Amino acid sequence: MELPVISNTQPAAEGGGCSSSGCGTAPDALGHLPDHIRAKVQDHPCYSEEAHHYFARMHVAVAPACNIQCNYCNRKYDCSNESRPGVVSEVLTPKQAINKVLAVAAEIPQMTVLGIAGPGDPLANPARTFETFEQLSERAPDIKLCVSTNGLNLPMHVDRIAQHNIDHVTITINCVDPEVGAKIYPWIFWENKRIFGVEGARILIEQQQLGLQMLTDRGILVKVNSVLIPGVNDEHLKEVSKIVKAKGAFLHNVMPLIAEAEHGTYYGIMEQPEPTPEMLQDLQDACAGDMAMMRHCRQCRADAVGLLGEDRGDEFTMDKIDVMEVDYEAAMVRRKVVHDEIIEKLDAKRGIVKPKAETSGIPADARPVLMAVAGKNGVVAEHFGHAKEFLIYEASPAGARFMSHRKTELYCGGMDACGDGDLAEAGTESLLDRNIRILEGCEVVLCSKVGFEPWAKLEAAGIAPNGEHAMEPIEDAVMAVYKEIAATGKLSPAAETLKVA
Amino acid sequence: MALQITESCVNCWACVDVCPNEAIYQDTPHFLVDDSKCTECLGDHSVPQCAAICPIEMAIVDELGAFLNPPGSLTGIPIEKLKQFGLWKEAA
On average, the pLDDT of chain A sits at: 80
Closest CA–CA distance from residue B10 to any residue of chain A (Å): 6
Task: Specify the pLDDT at position A156.
Answer: 97
Q: Any idea what the CATH number is for the domain that residue A431 is in?
A: 3.30.420.130
Number of domains in chain A: 2
Q: Does B84 touch chain A (CB under 8 A)?
A: yes
CB-nearest partner of B12 from A64, A264, A421: A64
Distances (CA, A) of A406 to A170, A337, A430, A458, A459: 23, 35, 17, 16, 19
Task: Specify the pLDDT at position A397.
Answer: 87
> Is the pLDDT reported for residue A219 higher than 90?
no
- Phi and psi at A180, nearest 5°, equal -70, -40
- How far is A251 from A61, CA to CA, in rounded Å? 24
Instruction: Identify which has the larger pLDDT, A47 or B73.
Output: B73
Q: A291-295, A360-364, B40-44 — which is least confidently predicted?
A: A291-295
Q: Extract the runs of DSSP E, i.e. beta strands, from A78-186.
A: 111-116, 144-149, 168-172
Task: Specify the pLDDT at position A358.
Answer: 58
Helix, strand, or coil here: A394? strand
Average pLDDT value for residue range A360-371: 85
**pLDDT, tens digit, 9 for 90 and up, residues A433-481:** 888 888 888 999 999 888 888 888 899 989 999 988 888 888 889 999 9
Closest CA–CA distance from residue A8 to any residue of chain B (Å): 38
Average pLDDT value for residue range A90-107: 90
**Strand-pair partners of A195:** A188
Task: Specify the pLDDT at position A159.
Answer: 94
**pLDDT, tens digit, 9 for 90 and up, residues A222-259:** 999 999 999 999 999 999 999 999 998 988 889 999 99
Average pLDDT value for residue range B31-49: 96
**DSSP state for residue B89 in the 8-state scheme:** -
Residues A304 and A385 in one domain: no
Residues A311 and A381 in one domain: no
Exposure string of A318-334, with b = 16+ CB inside 10 Å and e = fewer, is: eeebeeeebebeebbee
The percent of residues in chain A predicted with pLDDT above 90, rounded, is 34
Average pLDDT value for residue range B34-40: 96
**pLDDT, tens digit, 9 for 90 and up, residues A32-87:** 566 767 777 777 777 777 777 778 888 899 999 999 999 999 887 554 445 555 55
Average pLDDT value for residue range A299-314: 72
Write down the CATH number for the domain with range B1-92: 3.30.70.20
Residues A317 and A373 in one domain: no
Contacts with A, B 13-52, CB within 8 Å: 13-14, 16-18, 45-47, 49, 52
Q: Any idea what the CATH number is for the domain that residue A253 is in?
A: 3.20.20.70
> Is the pLDDT reported for residue A113 higher than 60?
yes
Chain A residues close to B11, C-beta within 8 Å: 64, 91
Residues A301 and A390 in one domain: no
> Is the pLDDT reported for residue A3 higher than 50?
no
Task: Specify the pLDDT at position A302.
Answer: 66
Name the amino acid, one letter, at A66.
C
Residues A397 and A475 in one domain: yes
Strands A168-172 and A221-228, by their bridges, are: parallel
For residue A298, the enclosing domain spans: 27-322
Beta-carbon separation of B13 and A65 below 8 A = yes
Residues A380 and A253 in one domain: no
**Strand-pair partners of A372:** A392, A445
- How far is A131 from A94, CA to CA, in rounded Å? 6
Average pLDDT value for residue range A406-432: 53
Q: A93-107, A327-341, A344-358, A464-478 — which is least confidently predicted?
A: A344-358
Domain boundary among A322, A339, A354: A322
